Structure 1
Amino acid sequence: MTDPHYDVTGDGPVLLIIPGGAGHPMGLDAMTDVLSAHFTVVTYDPLGLAHGRLGEPVADQRVQDWSDGARWVLDATLPEGESAYVLGTSAGAVVALDLLARHPERLRHVVAHEPPCVGVLPDGARQQARFAEVCDVYRAKGLVAAGALMTAVLEEREAGELPEGQPLPREEELLSPMALSLAHVLRPFTSYIPEAGPSKVRLTVGAGTDSREQLLYRTAEFLAKERQAELVEFSGGHLGILQHPVEFAGRLTRTLLGDGLRS
């Protein structure tokens, strides 16, 4: 594994951010600007897509590889003897759960926002199969059809007739973080089953207010109950981190620090 890519801003206790999708941290600046008043914000870029690697070949991804990279980043940025806060969202939340299971030594409090680890649900095998279908539709019909099916999967409804389309040429796929996520991240990450039972490090499971009655809110509720963790609502839906960055950052700060003051 090559040395992982990351960016650092702000001052205070370390807060590691693990983005969703293909791990590209695009669109997170508004949130990290707010968080940097309270934390040293370390934004992890597991594939280096924001660090000159967009367009380079990408293989199928493994949760454990991203988690090992996150641990490497913590070792590189944490002062000796200190522990870190962690926020993972979507695919990044799956990584945060694996980091919590396999590398808890330097963790202080983990927030996993809408992890798509649907295998924990009673109907988990069916939901995993639906996400696999999204990946197959992407390969057959391209981004628009896959996006339509993805929306239906998240809303737990039938998709109906999908729009026709063509697969992306490989050179175009490599330039699209969304396409890379559908091609190489979604299937293995939605297949991941986190460990059961309470964790040794504090865990909070997040869900968006606009996701109520949807699949990943249901997943968050089930996971929080299974792990004996707190369930916290954040503004917006699955992409609340981008939709409402200031409100999201405020809720996260209160979740981690209580009154919002540094600790």
Structure 2
Amino acid sequence: MPTTGLLPVDGATLYFEQRGTGPLLLIAQSGEGDARRSTDLVDALADDFTLITYDRRGLSRSTLDDPHRPVAMADHADDVHRLLAHVADSPALMLGCSFGAVIGLHLAAEHGDQLDTLIAHEPVAPWLLDAEAEPHRRELAGLQDLFATGGLPAALPAIAKSLGIDPAHPDTEPGLTPQPMDEQRRSNFARFITDEFTMLRTDPGCRDRLATTRTRILPATGRTTPTTVFDHQAAHRLGALLERPVLTFPGGHNGNTTHPRAWAAQLRTLLYAHCR
């Protein structure tokens, strides 16, 4: 069982979980994901790493002091900065998936000394896309409009298509922990689409500071993610910006949940090879 904790930060209280032994690896989730979204991946890595997962402010058990106060990307990056200051006594490893990868990039830009290595898997970052940035921002706005008029039944298929996910032909490992669409998950999705999509659309980014960060940033994408979708393109633009090859992980955009054991094997090899 994980050790759980609550950490007061500026404007919120963060819920986090810690499990395992070894080098500290923080996992920042994608989408509506909270601390338990990647439970199978954590299970597979617990003998090799000390795993930290957490609920982003406003999701699940991480409460806001003022629910009406807008949350900025800088708040999320500062939350991880404070969480790592609380649990780590040396530079940590970080896996950022989708939205979590964007948080990781901002943390690397602001507090690069806190991270040894960041794996940035398919960051949802329009600011990496140059001329294609504005169409992607409009795409996110269109998904918000779909949610406003038709709720999750209308928005989720469109979001999956936007990310290159094919729900009709799922490619997953066997024996995964079920993640039902319960009331808490629906609430997290609502916040993700209404508030955090706006955050992604308006985020000015930090590309000018990434080349000088002390953090080793490893861009990554999914093996089955179509090359035409923005998350794949953003990972490759990040690789070009940093002049680093783009890693390929099993599965697609959500490979951390669909292929957790294969991901664990690749992370184990990769992170021990890069750990300084």
Q: Same fold (TM over 0.5)?
A: yes
Q: 2:140 aligns with which of 115, 131, 134?
A: 131
Q: How many Å separate the matches in 1 of 2:248 and 2:201?
A: 21
Which position in structure 1 is the counterpart of 2:5?
Answer: none
CA deviation profile, 1:155-210 (whole Å, cap 9, x unmatched): 49xxxxxxxxxxxxxxx799522222111112212443232352332100111111
Which position in structure 1 is the counterpart of 2:207?
Answer: 195
Contact 2:60–2:184 (8 Å) recurs in 1:
no
Aligned amino acid, residue 32 of structure 1: V
Q: 2:101 aligns with which of 83, 86, 93?
A: 93
Report SS of the residue matched to 2:47: coil
CA deviation profile, 1:126-163 (whole Å, cap 9, x unmatched): 1111111111221122112212322343349xxxxxxx
Which position in structure 2 is the counterpart of 1:77?
Answer: 87
In the alignment of these two chains, the number of paired residues is 243
Give 1:60 deviation, angstroms. Answer: 4.3
CA deviation profile, 1:31-54 (whole Å, cap 9, x unmatched): 011211111111122226443759
CA deviation profile, 1:225-258 (whole Å, cap 9, x unmatched): 1122331111111111111111112212222112
Q: How many Å separate the matches in 1 of 2:186 and 2:63?
A: 9
Q: 2:219 aligns with which of 205, 220, 223?
A: 205
Give 1:224 deviation, angstroms. Answer: 1.0
Aligned amino acid, residue 216 of structure 2: R
CA deviation profile, 1:73-114 (whole Å, cap 9, x unmatched): 1011112xx110011111111000000001112210011111
Unaligned runs of 5+ in 2: 1-9, 166-182
Superposed counterparts of 1:6-155, under 5 Å: 6-47=16-57, 49-51=59-61, 57=67, 60-79=70-89, 82-121=90-129, 122-155=131-164
Which position in structure 2 is the counterpart of 1:215?
Answer: 230
Contact 2:127–2:133 (8 Å) recurs in 1:
yes
Q: How many Å separate the matches in 2 of 1:48 and 1:112?
A: 23
Report SS of the residue matched to 2:118: strand
Q: 1:239 aligns with which of 250, 254, 266?
A: 254
Which position in structure 1 is the counterpart of 2:6?
Answer: none
Report SS of the residue matched to 1:4: strand
1:185 aligns with 2:196: yes
Aligned amino acid, residue 187 of structure 1: T
Runs of 4+ in 1 over 6 A off after TM superposition: none
Indicate the RMSD between aligned Cα atoms, in angstroms: 2.6
Which deviates the most, 173-182 or 65-74? Answer: 173-182
Contact 2:124–2:231 (8 Å) recurs in 1:
yes
Report SS of the residue matched to 1:237: coil
Normalization by structure 2: what TM-score? 0.79
Unaligned runs of 5+ in 1: 157-171
Q: How many Å separate the matches in 2 of 1:191 and 1:125?
A: 10
Normalization by structure 1: what TM-score? 0.83
Q: How many Å separate the matches in 1 of 2:258 and 2:70?
A: 28
Q: How many Å separate the matches in 2 of 1:155 and 1:31?
A: 22
Which deviates the most, 40-49 or 231-240? Answer: 40-49
Q: 1:190 to 1:223 in 2, by over 3 A?
A: farther
Work out the percentage of aligned pairs sharing the same amino acid: 26
Aligned amino acid, residue 69 of structure 1: D
Report SS of the residue matched to 1:86: strand
Q: How many Å separate the matches in 1 of 2:225 and 2:185?
A: 30
Contact 1:90–1:113 (8 Å) recurs in 2:
yes
Contact 1:93–1:112 (8 Å) recurs in 2:
yes
